[in-house]
Structure 1
Amino acid sequence: MKPQYERVTIPDGCSIRVYHRQLAQIPFEWHHHPEYELTLTMNSRGRRFVGDHIGAYSGDDLVLVPPDMPHTWASTEPLDPREPQVAIVVWFSGDWARRMADCCPEFAPLRTLLRRGAAGLKFAPEAATSMRARLDALLSESPRVRLGAVLEVLTSLAETAPEPLASPAVHTQGAKQTVAGRDAQKPPAAAASTPGGSASEAERLNRVLDLLDRRFHEPLRVAELCEAAHLSERSLHRYFVRHVGESVGRYLSRLRIGFATRQLTDTDWPIAVIATKAGFSNLANFNRQFLSARGMTPSAYRRFFETHGHAPKEDPSPTENLQTRPPSLERTPRRAGRVSG
């Protein structure tokens, strides 16, 4: 079974993403993504799948999964049936961790953690207990407090002696990798797979996202995106909605509105100039889309910032982000739309 590609988005104004998952049962969802993932599973018993590793877990289970390694947990029962099963998930990029190590000697151990984490790591119960003790900070409403807690957890873990999980070859052999000698242990849903089993699909999507991120201010045609991804228009929209959770047009609009919002607070450019630089050829269309996204017109937004010294509070709030899952693994995709602006 090919692992599904999950697109993890880091919230605006944040360096990492924390997700507080509470479920009656943790389902088997074989997937991968380009971010590192640190997961603390609590009040749960079942089986853990990381690359070609399959193992039982129970209680506080703390694991680091490297980029693009397929993984999932599948629970059989809660330890306390009166309480939900919980997973505290931290996603972060390797580039971010390496930059932190480069600029701050206090975080130099992060390099060690990334280097040792190539096969996936399971940490001792004491490390899981230590992370559990920081839950208040990890789930704080303040992104700054969450970031501090995550950095403390990661640097502490770098100084422990974790257990490698997957075979070293699993992370390097790509789509040709097979898992031998374990088929008898695997449920049908966990048939032999690879870290890059759906990497070509992910790479195609990332080419489109990169093009949108670089050229959002230009008039973009769907044909250009299809050419970059080597996909038909129908396949592009299907992949985009499945993995990003919204249509291409909606994603492009959010990029443009995000750029315009920053210019309203950081510059004194006229609103018409901002609209043009953000990729809106029509000022009325820009005003309408900005009002829909931000709840006020661009001029009202700028006045609010000038009066109060900060932007209006918007949804989703940092607290809501903690309990909002990346949409790419959800089974109810939204309808695809056209690139517009």
Structure 2
Amino acid sequence: MTRWIDRPAAREVIPLLPGESFRWLEHDYPSEIARWNYHPEYEIHLIRKGTGSYIIGDQIGAFGPGQVAMIGSELPHDWMSDLEPDEVIIGRDAVVQFDAEWLERCIGVLPEVSAVRELLELSQMGIIFGGQTALDAAEQIELVGRTSGSRRLSHLFALLAVLTHAPKEEKMLVTRAWFSASEGREGKAAVEAGLAYIFANLNDRIRMSEAAHLAHMSEPTFSKYFKRASGLTFSDTVKKLRIANACRLLATSELPVSTICTEVGYSNLANFNRQFLAEVGMTPREYRNLDDAERPSGMSPRLGLGTANRLVEHAHP
């Protein structure tokens, strides 16, 4: 499994089969497609079996069977199961993926579906659902996989309705908003080019000038649109993703801290330790020594579940 764990995130290409307007799939773990990735499509993800750690955006948390999460467009994510040597978890996940533009066209002719827009906005922070909402959503996800044609479509809309109307106590926002679609074409271009460049060079030297060049923008223009669309400066995004990748490697590998330092793009161990402490609230060694249940679940140590619930309350007054 190491050959998948220590790879950086990749932009995933999600092909649709003929006659499909969205995608449903299931996969085992480990698997080459079960890795740190991001894509423009929205994703609803069900864990059927196993326990482990997830990474959503720049946050690490724990998962178990029955967890349902919704991942926004371009939001990096991965679920890393705890495995015995040579263990394979068959059918670990069931996943629904759909394109926002397709859903907007649906809303254009089916205004009853318009309430889902608010769900899409919240999913840019990643949402983990619990309680009856997770149970009902899991049932609809499985029904999507077992049906076809109009029945399949009806179960997708039923799934979206379940998540849209989830009570606030049954949903937790995971991270900051990764990308605001309202910032338009320039913001989208800056974020897409920036993330692609960052992930391709996460263990190497990263220059904003190169990302700006990929976005066909000047540095000041790129910097402005990237910050407006992502909510962070380019350098802060690089730091958060490097530390998140370090958390992932600390939790899922036995690589020495000094090796992880280099793997995530730091050339100086003291600086890496200092940046990790500032971001996570503990040293890399302290983080590695935590049990899975002790690691921050859903939010960073500095932004707990109470804050997540207040964010949901703010979004749904």
> Tell me, what secondary structure is at the counterpart of 1:155?
helix
TM-score (norm 1): 0.49
> Tell me, what secondary structure is at the counterpart of 2:46?
strand
Equivalent-residue separation in structure 2 for 1:43 and 1:143 (angstroms): 28
Equivalent of residue 165 in structure 1, options 160, 174, 195? 174
Kindly indicate whether the alpha-carbon contact (under 8 Å) linking 1:60 and 1:129 is maintained by their aligned counterparts in 2: yes
Alignment correspondent of 1:86: 92
Alignment correspondent of 1:138: 144
- Residue type of the partner of 2:135? T
Is 1:53 matched up with 2:62?
A: no
Q: Once the two structures are superposed, what CA deviation does each residue of 1:35-62 show, in whole Å capped at 9, x if it has no partner? A: 1111111111000011101000111111
- Residue type of the partner of 2:146? S
Matches within 5 A, 1:148-227: 148-160=154-166, 161=168, 162-168=171-177, 171-173=230-232, 176=235, 177=237, 178-179=239-240, 185-187=247-249
Alignment correspondent of 1:11: 17
Alignment correspondent of 1:43: 49
Equivalent-residue separation in structure 1 for 2:158 and 2:56 (angstroms): 24
Kindly indicate whether the alpha-carbon contact (under 8 Å) linking 2:68 and 2:138 is maintained by their aligned counterparts in 1: no
Shift of 1:185: 3.7
Q: Report the CA distance shift for 1:136/1:4 in structure 2 as closer, same or farther (over 3 A).
A: closer
Matches within 5 A, 1:279-318: none
Q: Once the two structures are superposed, what CA deviation does each residue of 1:59-97 show, in whole Å capped at 9, x if it has no partner? A: 11111111111111100049xx99735211111011122
Q: Once the two structures are superposed, what CA deviation does each residue of 1:283-336 show, in whole Å capped at 9, x if it has no partner? A: xxxxxxxxxxxxxxxxxxxxxxxxxxxxxxxxxxxxxxxxxxxxxxxxxxxxxx
Q: Report the CA distance shift for 1:21/1:82 in structure 2 as closer, same or farther (over 3 A).
A: closer
Q: Report the CA distance shift for 1:174/1:102 in structure 2 as closer, same or farther (over 3 A).
A: farther
Equivalent of residue 40 in structure 2, options 28, 31, 34? 34
Matches within 5 A, 1:243-254: none
Equivalent-residue separation in structure 2 for 1:26 and 1:39 (angstroms): 17
Q: Report the CA distance shift for 1:16/1:145 in structure 2 as closer, same or farther (over 3 A).
A: same
Q: Once the two structures are superposed, what CA deviation does each residue of 1:148-202 show, in whole Å capped at 9, x if it has no partner? A: 1111101220111321112236744475412187677441589769xxxxxxxxx
TM-score (norm 2): 0.53
Please tell me whether Structure 1 or Structure 2 has the larger radius of gyration of its CA atoms: 1
Alignment correspondent of 1:123: 129
- Residue type of the partner of 1:168? A
Q: Report the CA distance shift for 1:174/1:65 in structure 2 as closer, same or farther (over 3 A).
A: farther
> Tell me, what secondary structure is at the counterpart of 1:34?
coil
Equivalent-residue separation in structure 2 for 1:136 and 1:60 (angstroms): 12
Shift of 1:4: 0.8
Shift of 1:24: 6.5
- Residue type of the partner of 1:116? L
- Residue type of the partner of 2:67? D
Alignment correspondent of 2:72: 66
Q: Once the two structures are superposed, what CA deviation does each residue of 1:188-224 show, in whole Å capped at 9, x if it has no partner? A: 589769xxxxxxxxxxxxxxxxxxxxxxxxxxxxxxx
Kindly indicate whether the alpha-carbon contact (under 8 Å) linking 1:27 and 1:75 is maintained by their aligned counterparts in 2: no
Equivalent-residue separation in structure 2 for 1:23 and 1:2 (angstroms): 18
Q: Report the CA distance shift for 1:12/1:184 in structure 2 as closer, same or farther (over 3 A).
A: closer
Equivalent-residue separation in structure 2 for 1:184 and 1:192 (angstroms): 6
Structure 2 portions without partners, runs of 5+ = 1-6, 180-229, 254-259, 266-317
Kindly indicate whether the alpha-carbon contact (under 8 Å) linking 2:27 and 2:90 is maintained by their aligned counterparts in 1: no
Structure 1 portions without partners, runs of 5+ = 194-341
Residue correspondences, number: 191
Kindly indicate whether the alpha-carbon contact (under 8 Å) linking 1:32 and 1:69 is maintained by their aligned counterparts in 2: yes
Alignment correspondent of 2:106: 100
- Residue type of the partner of 2:51? R
